Chains A and B, each alone.
Chain A
Amino acid sequence: MHAFFQHLIDSITLGSLYAVMGLSIALVFGIMRLVNFAQGDLVMVGAYGSAFFSHAPWIFTLIIVLVVPIVFALIIERIAFRPVRMASDSTLLVTSFAVSYLLESLVLLFLSATPRGVNLAPALGHPFHVAGLLIPWLDVATVSSTAVLLVGLSWFLSKTRTGVYMRAAAEDFTTARLMGVRANRVIAAAFAISGLLTGVTAYLTVAKTGQVYPAMGVNLLLVAFVATTIGGLGSLSGAVLGGYILGAITIFIRAYFPAQLASFTQAFTYLIVIAILVYRPQGLLSSRANRTRV
């Protein structure tokens, strides 16, 4: 029974990480109908920010890791996506691949492909004991920062004017513009918020793995993309739900599978994902908005 609760805690922690990353994808997708594959590289950019400033006071490092992805997200939106915004969905998608490769290549060019070790927030690595369970402080930080982000985001989207305009634009962009909603402003807001979410992901990922390298965001992006697809692309609550489901599947398969099959855990994880999508191709919580782009 103890083992079960330990796995439960692990899956909630992992799910939180996926949920935050999934939200950052879903937020941009909701408004732009764009799966931004450069989102993973924003994690990498933020992570390198932590590598450069790992010896600064922790609050300073944290701010750097949060702010750098926001700045990059806004620059990418302005330079890469805005000029092709009215183009087809596939143009946008290819653009996001290009941005992704560009960011990784820049790091390879100016820094190196070798992973760097970063000892970020070592205090978070220590566990504490409660009822026989071993809980690292990092897990607490992960889950609580996710909770803060979820509450904060839903407050923003329902209580602030920009938030309501963003939801309107996500459902029907053209009509929102006809009402006077500034397209550039809501899109920039979506990129900025997704940048913040990526920054949090970056900090938690580096604190957990202790290293940064150019391709570190790729896998995270894929997993988060799968999570948002399970939940229903375009639905924010779907992205969160998908994140936690994927986290739970991953952890429990790893824990309860026979040791001989250990190398196949990922295959089985995605087998379940495929089964979910066969059962509900539109995702668990599909939004009506993701069907049309006017």
Chain B
Amino acid sequence: MIRIENLSVSYRKVPALVDVSISVGKGELIGLIGPNGAGKSTLVKAIAGLVKPSSGSILFDGTDLRGKYPEDIARLGVSFVPEGRHIFQSLSVAENLSLGYASGRAYEESTHEAVLDQFPALRRYYNDSAAGLSGGEQQQLAFARALLAKPKLLILDEPSLGLAPLVIDSVFETLEKLRTDGVTILLVEQNASRTVAIADRTYVLGGGKIRKEGTAAQLLNRDDMLETYLGKSV
């Protein structure tokens, strides 16, 4: 699905990513964890076309995404839910959802209804301003907006950030459900233990490099490794 090889990104002269290689297969849920400043967001922003890599390649279904505009990458089937959700506060819930069709996907009533069924709060506030939604409801809206685009690859940047514990539970439930539906997901998270537990494989990023990669079983056997890079036990 997506294969990133030897990707390096620098902000001015400061390297943020050095020779990073990761891959996500169709239908996989891949975790990407690491401490603040490890380069997690930089990596997904590079995929989405928001930062320019200095070297390496990002192959998505055989197309190199490097140098493409964010909107063209979205139109190829990559849905990126940025950190902080980025709901359009001046738009209604319905209008926010209509942005899900901006990537060129035609409106289908059955899909639209199915997505709304998954997130009942959105139906309740459908014609209200999105500014009135709570953090958890905004996260639901961000999920729904991304899903309406029927993405081939869904990238989530810290979806649990700033949410109450109960709401975080529902975020991970949603992820679980999406995985069952066969959505390919790249999940960036601070919440290392839950990410490792839910993901098929997880990459541990530290200091701009991939430090470790593996399944839950493989990573948990090396909890010293996680402690080193995450500063907490799993």
Contacts and interface: CB of A to CB of B under 8 A. Distances in A.
B146 to A, nearest CB: 8
B202 to A, nearest CB: 24
Contacts of B80: 178
B99 A287 contact: no
B89 A177 contact: no
B89 A167 contact: no
Contact of B102 (A167, A171, A176, A288): A176
B74 A171 contact: no
A171 B103 contact: no
Interface stretch (A67-75, A142-150, A180-188): A180-188
A177 B91 contact: no
A89 interface: no
Contacts of A180: 71, 74-75, 102-104, 149
Contacts, number: 70
Interface in B174-212: none
Interface residues of B, number: 25
B95 interface: yes
A168 B82 CA distance: 15
Contact of A165 (B75, B82, B99): B99
A202 B167 CA distance: 55
B149 A168 contact: no
Interface string B66-82: 00011100110000101
Given A164-B95, A164-B99, A183-B69, A178 B82 contact: yes
B70 A174 contact: yes
Contact of A176 (B75, B99, B101): B99
B125 interface: no
A183 B71 contact: yes
A179 B75 contact: no
A179 B89 contact: no
A96 B88 CA distance: 29
Interface string A157-171: 000010011011011
A153 to B, nearest CB: 16
Contacts of A178: 48, 50, 70-71, 74, 80, 82, 86
A172 B99 contact: no
Contacts of A171: 88-91
Interface in A179-201: 179-183
B98 interface: yes
Contacts of B70: 174, 177-178
Nearest to B78: A178
A27 to B, nearest CB: 15
Given A176-B102, A182-B71, A288 B89 contact: yes
A289 interface: yes
A261 to B, nearest CB: 43
Interface centre among B69, B71, B89, B100 (most CB of A within 10 A): B71
A177 B71 contact: yes
A266 interface: no
A165 B99 CA distance: 7
Contacts of A287: 90
Given A177-B70, A180-B102, A172 B88 contact: yes
9 contacts: A164-B98, A168-B99, A172-B88, A177-B71, A177-B74, A178-B80, A179-B71, A180-B149, A289-B90
- Please provide the 6 A-B residue pairs with the shortest distance between their CB atoms, ordered closest to farther: A180-B103, A180-B74, A180-B102, A175-B86, A177-B70, A179-B99
